[in-house]
Amino acid sequence: MTAWVIKIVAACLLNVAAALLLSPLCEGLMRKLRAALHSRIGPPITQPYWDLLKLLGKEDLRSSGGFAYAAMPAITLGSVLLLAALVPMGAAAPMAFAGDLIVVLYVATMSSVLIMLVGFASASPYASIGSSREMMMLLSVEPILAVALCVGAFKAKTLALGGIVNWQVQNGPSISMAIAGVAFFLALQAVAGKLPFDIAEADQEIMGGSLVEQSGPRLALFRWAMWVKQFVLAFLLVEVFFPWPHFAAPLVDLAAMVVKVLIVLTLVAVVDVVNPRLRIDQAMGYFMRVGVSSLAALAFAVIGK
Amino acid sequence: MSTVDQATVARVKEAVAAHGNGHLLSVTQPHPDTLRFAIDKKAVRAVVAALVEQLQARFMISVGTDERSLTGEFAISHLFSLDREHLYVLIESLVSEKDPEIESITEIIPGANWAEREFQDAIGVRPEGHPDPRRLLLADDWPEGTYPLRRDFPYNYRPPAAENVRPQMLEPPKGASVVPIGPFFPVLEEPAYWRMFVEGETVVGCDLRIFYNHRGIEKLGDSVLTYNEIPYLAERICGICGFIHSTCYCQAVEKAAGIEVPRRARYIRTIMLELERIHSHLLWLGIAGHIIGFETVLMQTWRIREPVMWLCEEISGNRKTYGMNTIGGLRRDLPDEIKPKLIEILAGVEKESVAVRNAIVGDLTLQARTKGVGGLTNEWAKKICVVGPPARASGVAIDARIDHPYAAYDELPPRIATEEAGDTWARVLVRVTELLESIRLVREALAAMPAGPICAEIKQEIPADRVGVSVVEAPRGEAIHMVLTGGDNRPYRWRVRAPTYPNLQAMPAMVAGANIADVPITLGSLDPCFSCTERLETVDRRTSKVRIYSHAELLELSRKARSGGAR
């Protein structure tokens, strides 16, 4: 019994630690790639760690009072770390027993909602515009994530993520899962707040949007949460939609998974570099079309393709 | 030199006389392309209306001059251009100190709004019937009744600072909230305070307070500096188009004094002016990309721009602020030995600029962000008297290089690019076309440059009480300098109008009904230059030590700083 608990706790810690410690490294790699495409040298790959250290060492300033407001950055980071424990990252999800697909979706949405709330609570016109944009993005992107994952659930006839992954590994690629995977990837771009969808932050328009009033340790935690989220969702994308080739050897599979996650993040960075920012109405129109395509994936799943 | 048709001159004289209704006092023609009318101030509005409606004259700027030491009164002049006819028309009225009022012309020409508020602030002549006579030029805590451009006002006087003053801003319409952009904002390189009135994300109106950077450059010109010192100050009006302002000033004085500039100097001026356009347009393209989050465009265009800066350094010794202009010509020749090198570099810049143009013209996301955004109709562009690329993108085919040829443009006429759509995309297209056209002009000017002296010999003193009007087509539009010569080796009045001055006034018309996300790129599409408009500069003089770093050393230093060393 205790051995079982220890095993789960250890697996959770492993996932959480990996997400916490490696996500800034991924961000650093993405920045380096971005710089290369800009004909720049760019910051060192370790820069995100230094950014976090610097921000964490600063004074904690708040533009609003209240316990909830004060705790918001920690809760946001906590929510994405919880997500890390719910998602398979190169091995079975450590807390798979705690919840299925539906829980994962809820937890994945939590951080966006919290950032939105912090913007509305900041009493700044830029933050409230940013938050209302965040809300519109959430409403147009979240259904795509849900439909894409539901395609998997429908095919595998289970809501458990582990079950979907296993089904995928055994049954190989299918049209419906490929379309759903692409839709998920496009949504990931928005969820990670990358161009052309960094509309809710839009430095040049609303000076960082929801997070404009956040600084020091609070900003560090929000940043960290966003990096963790992009890292974990990249794993989710790869695990659920592109789990092959599967070697049945845990270490080799883990290595393959990491390589694939890096490929996904590279693509995210490249799309970010070659696009200007869309306007919120244009982005919503775009995601409406992506949403319709993801429904097509569901239709393919129904006819068994 | 452009030739002015005598029939046109007669037609203008006739129209002014007819509408002056007996208030026309005198007509002079100080220069073949300039007509100067002295009229009684009672007839200003009627005459201006006739000029605008019958002769399609374009309002350029108003000049307020304290002529109390000459005539005992203030002079208010409105300057117009008849672009097709290559003619300037100056309408001058005297206003007495006891009754410092003159009819406002803003009702007829919306573009005269700021010009009239400026002479109200600087000279103290009230434009009567002005729709919005708020303070424009002076600081919010500047005491009432103190007019800095009056000649009895010392240039170094500092009024006491006041507490708790704020700009008079318009209130938002009912139901709208305010989104402030500025005074300091990521996409504004310089301070300007826009208040956007928004409902949801839609802009329903806006208000602006600028002139945070006013430096009193005109005051220095007519109180402290001499004719030959001013070009260096004029060059520092703007950090991008400095040479444009020094050329424009020198031309105004040369015209007033009747100095003939040698051909070679004219060609070299043309080359430098076009080089400024090239690097300015590349700079603008990058900033426009940055505003809509397209950093790749910023990084690549600025990389392409670098060799142009190097070219300027090769010619003048400086990347910017060349210090080459002087009255009568130039202080520094362009040696023929470096020509092949210049042409080679230029070819590289052209190749890369063409690649950038092709990438931009085909980019659909870029079009999605700029097409139909920040539209300025042809009608409004004319009403506000917008100049430069924003005017040409709205179908107003004006270009100082064609309309009032200067330097060597009479022999090297540019092909001007116009678009009809009037949106941000049209402004992008106009500038990209101009960029390539400027490269061609530099190449042709280098090839056609004649030998000879670079500076006219000036034997006589510059006579007093002459007027000289000069324009230069800056990258942002037409810059105007007007000089009224004085007796003590300096101008009696030196008036500068930068192109951003009229262009910024078009912003309210351009953002009405827009999405708030489009406001930064709309503003950016004007390529605003506040320091020109406000005529100020800052100088960093932290250390007086001189040490020369090589290019490689500087790169090395910056990389060291980046990898954790001390800054």
Q: Where are the domains of chain B?
A: 6-168, 228-460
Cβ neighbours of A273 in B, within 8 Å: 295-296
A71-114 confidence digits (pLDDT tens)? 999 999 999 999 999 988 877 777 777 778 889 999 999 999 99
Could you say which of B186, B201, B296 has the minimum Cβ distance to residue A207?
A: B186
Cβ neighbours of B295 in A, within 8 Å: 34, 38, 273
Q: In the prediction, which pLDDT does B333 show?
A: 93
More confident residue, A162 or B232: B232
What are the structure tokens assigned to B430, written together? 């106009």
B277-327 confidence digits (pLDDT tens)? 999 999 999 988 888 888 888 999 999 999 999 999 989 988 889 999 999
Is the pLDDT score of B105 beyond 90? yes
Is the pLDDT score of A33 beyond 60? yes
Contact of B563 with chain A, judged by CB distance below 8 Å, is answered with yes
Torsions phi, psi for B373 (to 5 deg)? -105, 135
pTM for this prediction:
0.86
Instruction: Please give the Cα distance from B437 to B411 (Å, whole number).
Output: 15
Nearest C-alpha in A relative to B289: A276
- Looking at B408-538, which runs of residues are DSSP E strands? 467-474, 477-485, 491-497
Instruction: Please give the Cα distance from B49 to B56 (Å, whole number).
Output: 10
Quick check: do B6-168 and B228-460 share a fold?
no
Q: In the prediction, which pLDDT does B536 show?
A: 32
Q: Where are the domains of chain A?
A: 2-302
What is the dihedral sign for C-alpha B47, B48, B53, B59? positive
For residue A231, give the 3-state DSSP assignment. helix
Run of H or E including A79:
helix A67-86
Cβ neighbours of A54 in B, within 8 Å: none
More confident residue, A5 or B405: B405
**Can you tell me the ipTM of this complex?**
0.79
Is the pLDDT score of B535 beyond 60? no
**Distances, alpha carbon B530 to alpha carbons B192, B302, B559, in Å:** 8, 21, 32
Cβ neighbours of B290 in A, within 8 Å: 204
Q: How far is A211 from chain B (nearest CA, A)?
A: 15
* Distance spanning both ends of chain A, measured CA to CA: 43
B467-498 confidence digits (pLDDT tens)? 999 999 999 999 999 999 998 899 999 999 99
| C-alpha neighbours within 13 Å on the C-beta side of residue A197 | 24
HEC secondary structure over B283-317: HHHHHHHHHCCCHHHHHHHHHHHHHHHHHHHHHHC
My answer on whether omega of the bond before B307 falls inside 30° of 0, hence cis, is no
Sheet of B193-199: strand order equals B177-181, B193-199, B202-209
* Residue B143 neighbours by CB under 8 Å, 6+ apart: B159, B160, B162
B212-248 confidence digits (pLDDT tens)? 888 889 999 989 999 999 999 999 998 888 999 999 9
Picking from A31, A199, A205 by the largest number of B CB atoms within 10 A of its own CB, the best residue to mutate is A205
Amino acid at B329: G
* Residue A113 neighbours by CB under 8 Å, 6+ apart: A138
pLDDT tier, B534 (very low <50, low <70, confident <90, very high otherwise) = low
For residue A15, give the 3-state DSSP assignment. helix
Could you say which of B186, B299, B518 has the minimum Cβ distance to residue A203?
A: B186
Contact B388, B526 (CB under 8 A): no
Contact of A38 with chain B, judged by CB distance below 8 Å, is answered with yes
- Interchain proximity B290–A195, CB inside 8 Å: no
Q: What is the fold of B6-168? A: Beta Polymerase; domain 2 (3.30.460)
CATH architecture of structural domain B228-460? Orthogonal Bundle (1.10)
Q: Which of B414, B387, B340 is nearest to B59 (CA)?
A: B387
- Interchain proximity B293–A202, CB inside 8 Å: yes
Residue B17 CB-density burial (10 A; 0-12 exposed, 13-18 middle, 19+ buried): middle
Contact of B145 with chain A, judged by CB distance below 8 Å, is answered with no
Contact B384, B506 (CB under 8 A): yes
The Cβ of residue B267 has, within 10 Å, a number of other Cβ atoms equal to 23
